[in-house]
């Protein structure tokens, strides 16, 4: 009962953080106080406003190129949201298609697709991401492709198990007996029953995508400078961590809060949408 009550309680703080970041990403180009890619060497290393020497013009300080950190954080939110959502959509579509095909058709098709899925899941994500990014080159589109290739297997493995259970239900069997088309069975009977699982996986994968994108950018395999991306900002500020700690710390906090909020929201959705948890109530 305690777990069920916690499942009914909406995690307001994580949800608020995500909504705030999404809102910033949407209106970012119109609210940035300075151009995030242009700097003035005269203004380099200005500390945040709460530190001695801070300036009202640069609330979060400036970097080694004199660029406004707050403007770059806002622009970085937009890039992170674009990369995260696009990677989740591509990975979810590919993984769901593989899962439905393998789970419903079964037989040799299932065996081949699942062995391919197992092979993808057995590979170290970061190393494969670095290799793919090195082949494709830097850029937002290539980064999304890398994340989609790395992420579809987890969808396929989990959703396939749901498809195997759903296709044995009475109304699905009756639909097959009455010669319903394959497309109708998959769209009207199979897909609605795996949608809850898909939503939970997408929420959890969203945070993972942002972390992987930031990691690749940190390693120089993601977004190219001077594009303001949180992982790239952490990498650029590490050389000045002792004298200008805010250059790496502030984008790192943004990554932490966004990914943690996405994971907490996904965990709440998992408990909320679990039929077993609802039955315990």
Q: What is 2-280's CATH topology?
A: MetI-like fold (1.10.3720)
Question: Measured between alpha carbons, how far is 264 from 253 in angstroms, rounded to an integer?
Answer: 16
Q: 274: Cβ–Cβ under 8 A, 6 or more apart, which residues? A: 7
User: Domain extents for the chain?
Assistant: 2-280
Q: Helix and strand tally (H, E) in the chain?
A: 12, 0
* φ/ψ bin of 52: left (φ > 0), alpha (ψ from -120 to 50), beta (otherwise): beta
* Statement: residue 5 has pLDDT above 70: no
Residue with the larger pLDDT of the pair 165 and 171: 165
Model pTM? 0.84
* Statement: residue 146 has pLDDT above 90: no
Closest CA to 79 of 153, 152, 147: 147
Closest CA to 46 of 71, 25, 29, 80: 71
- Per-residue pLDDT reduced to its tens digit, 212-237: 889 888 888 888 888 889 999 999 99
Task: Note if the bond before 226 is cis, omega within 30 degrees.
Answer: yes
What is the predicted pLDDT for the residue at 189? 82
């Amino acid at each position: 009962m305690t777990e069920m009550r916690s499942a009914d309680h909406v995690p307001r703080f994580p949800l608020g953080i995500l909504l705030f970041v999404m809102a910033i990403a949407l209106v970012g180009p119109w609210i940035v106080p300075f151009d995030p890619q242009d700097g003035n060497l005269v203004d380099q290393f200005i500390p945040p406003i709460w530190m001695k020497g801070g300036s009202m013009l640069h609330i979060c300080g400036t970097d080694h190129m004199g660029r406004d950190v707050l403007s770059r954080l806002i622009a970085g939110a937009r890039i992170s949201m674009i990369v995260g959502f696009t990677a989740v959509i591509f990975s979810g579509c590919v993984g769901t298609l593989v899962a439905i095909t393998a789970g419903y058709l079964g037989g040799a098709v299932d065996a081949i697709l699942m062995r391919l899925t197992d092979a993808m899941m057995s590979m170290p994500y970061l190393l494969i991401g670095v290799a793919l990014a090195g082949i494709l080159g830097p850029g937002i589109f290539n980064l999304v492709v890398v994340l989609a290739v790395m992420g579809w297997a987890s969808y396929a493995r989990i959703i396939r198990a749901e498809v195997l259970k759903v296709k044995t239900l009475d109304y699905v069997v009756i639909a097959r007996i009455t010669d319903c088309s394959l497309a109708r069975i998959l769209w009207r009977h199979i897909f609605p029953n795996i949608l809850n699982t898909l939503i939970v996986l997408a929420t959890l994968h969203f945070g993972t995508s942002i972390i992987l994108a930031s990691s690749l950018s940190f390693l120089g395999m993601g977004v190219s400078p001077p594009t303001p991306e949180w992982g790239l900002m952490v990498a650029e500020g590490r050389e000045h961590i002792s004298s200008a700690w805010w250059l790496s710390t502030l984008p790192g906090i943004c990554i932490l809060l966004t990914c943690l909020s996405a994971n907490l929201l996904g965990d709440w959705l998992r408990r909320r949408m679990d039929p077993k948890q609802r039955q315990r109530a």
